[in-house]
Structure 1
Amino acid sequence: MSYLKPNQSTSPRLTLIATSLGLVLVTLDVTVVNVALERIQASLSTNVTGLQWIINAYTLVFASLLLTAGAIGDRFGAKRIFVIGFALFTIASLACGMAGTISTLIAGRVVQGVGAALCVPASLALLSASFPEAASRARAVSIWAGVGGLALAAGPVVGGIMVDRLGWPSIFFLNLPLGLLGIWLTLSYAPSGSKTPNRGLDLAGQVLAILALGGLTLGFVEAGSLGWTHPLVLSGFTCFLVAGALFLLAEAHGADPMLPLSLFRSSVVSASCVVGLLTNFAYYGLMFVLSLFFQATKGYSPLMTGLAFLPMTALVTVANLISGLLTARFGPRLPMVMGQALAACGYLALAGIDGRTPYSVIVGPLLAAGIGVALTVPAMTAAVLANADRQRTGITSGALNASRQTGGVIGVGVFGSLVAGGAEKLLAGMHVALILAGLALGIGAIISFVSIKVRLITKSNSLPVEMITKGETN
């Protein structure tokens, strides 16, 4: 990204607060909505398919735009794009909270996804500008990432408290004061910087990426209620195949591709992106399904549901640190294989639970799954960046993050289609989803063992810490 030079009116600490607020809101809205699903379903008279779209409308747009958003920030200025993204996210949150129909809520989530995609890359550019010294930048980005990890862990509990006490719209209204504060801090204290007006934008690739991922999501989400042979479902999968093929052609021959295919000449980069997709496929897909299980089958309140998820999220930060230590000592393969194997065992151990299963039996496997995923993500990020050319670390980490977000979209779509259709189908579909998640993570562990180097040998002597952290958010 282009270098942004701070001016005399800037405040690095307040810029850190502003960018951290942005990450907190973006991260919260990945998980906080899950605990409100049953209340939203009752309030807006929707079905499981509608609930899937509430989750996926946000994540789909976020994943689709993430790679292009960095280039937009370079071209028009990171500060401007961060403020625009933050404003879009905040306004959309107001619209979500006021939504009286499922269509309005889904539309608001789409705009939230656009704002989130613009915020994340621009926030890293602002941090780089505010902290030009490597050591201070490393500390700032560590704080930024740590705050995001805490938000991810706190999301279900915060959401549960607010939904129980104030109703489901409150989880969106919470974003308003924090969003306005973040925008004011950014406008007042973040550095203004140079732009790169000649930076190319891959508009054709961007449109095709949205069509491909949107078609795939449409097929999986609607299959649960319409059936796998319904014309709309088949049209979605056809759109995915056609747009996906055209996307690959556009990226292979475009002047400024958003996703240069040459990145995947590295088996480590390719394997890590596949592992990232499989990991989020299991994690976020099951967070959606288990939220329905806790509320619809076990009768938990939103607050109790949030607390039930705590074992999956509470130790994320600690496990991330342990993963970093293991990676530094033994290389990324050990924590990646160990983490995915542990998470797979956790999910498979849950495959026999039902409404009569006491929570004391559920908590152990949830803890294993959460720790396993948290061990995997930092190691895969380190593996990708160690095998990326120095000048392409940004786009490489963006590709990993996009693959992870895509995995989450597919997971909610596939697993949601399994549980659509009433209480009886919920339990049977959840068991299938848990088995599929365990198998996916088992495959990921095998891929990691075969493709990831034992030792971490970087192509550059100094990978920028902000790029390493970038792949760990959300």
Structure 2
Amino acid sequence: MNDLDTARARKTKSPFIFIVGTTSLAFVVSQLDVSILNIALPQIATSFKADISELQWIVDAYTIAFAVLMLSAGGMGDLLGSKRLFQFGLLVFGIASAGCGFSWNPFSLIAFRVLQGIGSAAMIPSSLSILNQSFAHEAKQRSKAVAWWTAAGGVSIAAGPILGGLLMHVSNWRMIFFVNVPICLIGILLSIKLKESEKHVNKGFDIPGQFSWMLALTALIAAIIELHHLGFNNPIIYGALIFSALMFILFLRIEKKATAPILPLDMFKSSTFNVLILLGITLNGSYYGTVFVLSLYLQNVLGYSSLIAGMAFLPLTAGFIISNLISAKLMAKYGTRIPILAGLTIGTIGYTGLLIAHAGTPYWQLFFPFITIPMGMGLAVPAMTTGILSTVAKTRSGTASAVLNTTRQAAGAMGVAVFGAMANGGTAAIVQAVTISSAISAICIFSLIFLIRRYLKIA
């Protein structure tokens, strides 16, 4: 390679690193907040004298707001420009994180967690849209960019318990929120140099669609969260489920007739789009729910401290890093199908490995599933995300990203609620929950292999 070729290579590589690095900061803080809080809950309960219900809403207020508003944020990014919405999301998330750190009671913390969810809903679809449009004409670069972006989020989820344990060891629970503020500030400053993305012609905003979607999803998740507290026969529970179903039907009718729907139903005409959305739902529901149960298992059954429990999740971080890098190389060579199928196979093996967990399981026996589960996800998720984006026009990438991430976040909240409910009742119930959640996850993920092979229409 001569000096001119070297200079060109550096010029090409520099914008790639800058764009991916800047957009990944948003994914880092948003995904970090999904997992970092679990380790801190006992300390928050002591600080605020909070009961279990209040703690549960502190966790899920963020996820609910994130999930219910992401569809609108995706559409707004396509209409108003992804860069502007990306900067707005970082600003809101940073302010909300500071508010969480300074909160004075459970209700103020829940309110600021909702605001964090609003910020995440704005910056996640817009960050992925920036990536998609920046490398729209370079398929290999786009696959590589999405893989690195996904890797950043995956590592953040896995590293959340570790970082939370370390921060609480040197300070207290408030620091897990304050750590987000400088990251958001750096992201805002760096994003100034990003190019603005293409926009749709402004045809208005789908307020009825957003309102009905928000009510449908909020009622559904709230019913699942409170199910193990109130019981299915409680009128609040079945009333919320009926209300959610009615609102969802109304939402579909509104979207069918809307001139600028937040959920363009024509996207679902693609079998590839549908099966990849189902893949995202299954992976997130299994992973979030299982990790939640494992956090209880490590601390309440095996007796690990918060710091040691956090460090025990270190293999998950390593698994995500290794597999995301491999996924990018596999996509460049084989397309999206092979990484997805390989990831599902490895993930199935990992969840099956957790079936050995009992009250006295030594950590070395848990190491294998702890590293293979994230390796499976790390292979499949970048390819899944790239596949979703390839099914739509680049000007609709923000909406497609929002649909994917909305369904994944909603599935994650449901996974925590369902698997967490099984763990309610002492150490024996927690051990049983690990076994049942692992078996369910393994069966569901293995079943997807057959759907992918039959319905995935892209290489």
Report deviation, 1:102. Answer: 2.6
Cross-structure match for 2:407: 403
Residue type at the aligned position of 1:358: P
Q: How does 1:35-434 map to 2 (within 5 A)?
A: 35-124=39-128, 144-186=149-191, 189=193, 198-389=202-393, 392-434=396-438
Cross-structure match for 2:9: none
Cross-structure match for 1:469: none
Structure 2 Cα separation of the partners of residues 432 and 201 of structure 1 = 43
Report deviation, 1:294. Answer: 1.2
Report deviation, 1:365. Answer: 1.4
Report deviation, 1:130. Answer: 8.2
Count of aligned pairs between the two proteins: 444
Structure 2 Cα separation of the partners of residues 399 and 234 of structure 1 = 27
Residue type at the aligned position of 1:161: L
Contact 1:64–1:213, Cα closer than 8 Å, also in 2: yes
Report deviation, 1:114. Answer: 0.2
Report deviation, 1:159. Answer: 1.6
Structure 1 Cα separation of the partners of residues 129 and 252 of structure 2 = 28
Residue type at the aligned position of 1:432: I
Does the alignment pair 1:450 with 2:450? no
Residue type at the aligned position of 1:370: P
Residue type at the aligned position of 1:155: G
Task: Report the CA distance shift for 1:132/1:221 in structure 2 as closer, same or farther (over 3 A).
Answer: closer
Q: Secondary structure at the match of 1:89?
A: helix
Report deviation, 1:398. Answer: 3.0
Structure 1 Cα separation of the partners of residues 205 and 47 of structure 2 = 41
RMSD after superposition: 3.1
Structure 2 Cα separation of the partners of residues 182 and 448 of structure 1 = 36
Structure 2 Cα separation of the partners of residues 323 and 128 of structure 1 = 17
Contact 1:49–1:221, Cα closer than 8 Å, also in 2: no
Structure 2 Cα separation of the partners of residues 436 and 131 of structure 1 = 38
Q: 1:163-182: CA deviations, max 9, x gaps?
A: 22211111001122333343
Contact 2:75–2:399, Cα closer than 8 Å, also in 1: no
Residue type at the aligned position of 1:431: T
Report deviation, 1:280. Answer: 0.4
Task: Report the CA distance shift for 1:134/1:194 in structure 2 as closer, same or farther (over 3 A).
Answer: closer
In the superposition, the TM-score normalised over structure 2's length comes to 0.86
Task: Report the CA distance shift for 1:46/1:450 in structure 2 as closer, same or farther (over 3 A).
Answer: farther
Contact 1:76–1:197, Cα closer than 8 Å, also in 2: no
Report deviation, 1:113. Answer: 0.6
Contact 2:203–2:259, Cα closer than 8 Å, also in 1: no
Task: Report the CA distance shift for 1:73/1:392 in structure 2 as closer, same or farther (over 3 A).
Answer: closer
Q: Secondary structure at the match of 1:239?
A: helix
Task: Report the CA distance shift for 1:396/1:75 in structure 2 as closer, same or farther (over 3 A).
Answer: closer
Q: 1:420-470: CA deviations, max 9, x gaps?
A: 3444433333332222222222232332233224x61xxxxxxxxxxxxxx
Q: 1:79-124: CA deviations, max 9, x gaps?
A: 4433332222112112222234332222221110100111223345
Contact 1:130–1:190, Cα closer than 8 Å, also in 2: no
Structure 2 Cα separation of the partners of residues 289 and 215 of structure 1 = 24
Report deviation, 1:215. Answer: 1.2
Residue type at the aligned position of 2:162: V
Residue type at the aligned position of 2:322: V
Report deviation, 1:324. Answer: 3.6
Report deviation, 1:207. Answer: 1.4
Q: Which moved more, 1:109-118 or 1:252-261?
A: 252-261
Gaps of 5+ in 1: 1-10, 457-474
Task: Report the CA distance shift for 1:226/1:211 in structure 2 as closer, same or farther (over 3 A).
Answer: same
Does the alignment pair 1:436 with 2:436? no
Residue type at the aligned position of 1:71: G
